């Protein structure tokens, strides 16, 4: 499972002119499932996202996680994180999970945030979404449950 995590002042997702998910300060998470992902990948990524110490403490150091600062999380599915452009210029998405399985998998990922001490909003899986954000910092972190950067 892959994710791009951005520290934001605010973020929202709009589908066909209607806002379907919105947060104030917190994290925008663009996430995708790979073909060989399992429940352990969901738990790993959720726990990593919630524990990232990328918010400033009283000394101005990145030392607080989203829970500690009372922030929210906006979770958006984005299969293009598995786009492979090593050969040619058109991305190949063969490593991405098939859409039907990915819909269910992403739903489990979103549900895993319930009861974790943060408000979680989401977009609509498979929809053409307009994602807008005010990146704070900017701070952007890449996560992958299968490898370490």
Active-site residues, by number, are: 78-80
For residue 110, which of 17, 6, 24, 21 has the smallest C-alpha distance? 21
Angle at 50 between CA 149 and CA 109, to 5 degrees: 85
**Tokens describing residue 47:** 């726990």
Q: How do strand 26-32 and strand 55-56 relate by DSSP bridges?
A: unpaired
What's the DSSP call for residue 26? E
The phi-psi region of residue 9 (left if phi > 0; otherwise alpha if psi is between -120 and 50; otherwise beta) is alpha
DSSP-derived letter for residue 81 is G
């Amino acid at each position: 499972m892959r994710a791009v995590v951005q520290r934001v002042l605010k973020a929202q997702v709009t589908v066909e002119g209607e806002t379907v998910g919105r947060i104030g300060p917190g994290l925008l998470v663009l996430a995708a499932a790979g073909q060989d992902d399992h429940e352990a990948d969901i738990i790993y990524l959720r726990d990593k996202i919630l524990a990232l110490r990328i918010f400033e403490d009283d000394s101005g150091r990145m030392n607080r996680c989203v829970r500690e600062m009372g922030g929210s999380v906006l979770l958006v599915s984005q299969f293009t994180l598995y786009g492979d452009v090593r050969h040619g210029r058109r991305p190949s998405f063969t490593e991405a999970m098939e859409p039907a399985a990915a819909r269910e998998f992403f739903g489990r990922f979103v549900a895993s945030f319930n009861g974790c001490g943060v408000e979680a909003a989401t977009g609509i899986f498979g929809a053409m979404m307009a994602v807008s954000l005010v990146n704070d910092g900017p701070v952007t972190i890449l996560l992958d449950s299968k490898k370490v950067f």
